[in-house]
Amino acid sequence: MEKQLLIIIGVIALLVCIGLCGCNQVNNTINPEKNKFVGTWQNTTLDLTTTINLFSDGTCLYLDLPGTWDVKDGKLIMDFTDSGFTWTYNYVFSNNDRTLSLTFTAGGLSQVFIKQ
């Protein structure tokens, strides 16, 4: 009886330790709205072919400029610190989230991108 009790206490202690090990992990999941942006987007409105690459880790590549991106207050914000640019866009998804319309907040220029 005493041996069984010791085994049960040992198993419970092990399960508690395993359960507590996961408590300090950082949640790296991306929210559903931001997840819609992740991928490669090709511009369909300019004469030259441009793409935006938005990565799930919050980094991006646009016009060969590396930067970071985020979605805040209903706007897409791309920050290219090394180049000194921060671009903010109003956005609208359509076509089952495969088409992204971006309107530059500073000048009203609109562009349409298709997810590749």
Which CATH number belongs to the domain containing residue 38 in this structure? 2.40.128.20
Whether 76 maps to a domain, the answer reads yes
**pLDDT level of residue 108 (50, 70, 90 thresholds):** confident
Q: 61 lies in which domain range?
A: 33-115
Whether 1 maps to a domain, the answer reads no
What is d(CA 116, CA 60) in angstroms, rounded to the nearest whole number?
15
What is the tally of structural domains in the chain? Answer: 1
Whether 12 maps to a domain, the answer reads no
pLDDT tens per residue, range 26-74: 445 668 899 999 999 999 997 878 999 999 999 999 988 999 999 999 9
Q: Report pTM.
A: 0.72
Whether 81 maps to a domain, the answer reads yes
Residue 17 in this model has a pLDDT that exceeds 50? no
Whether 25 maps to a domain, the answer reads no
Whether 13 maps to a domain, the answer reads no
Q: Where are the beta strands (DSSP E) in 1-116?
A: 39-43, 51-54, 59-62, 65-72, 75-80, 85-94, 99-104, 110-115
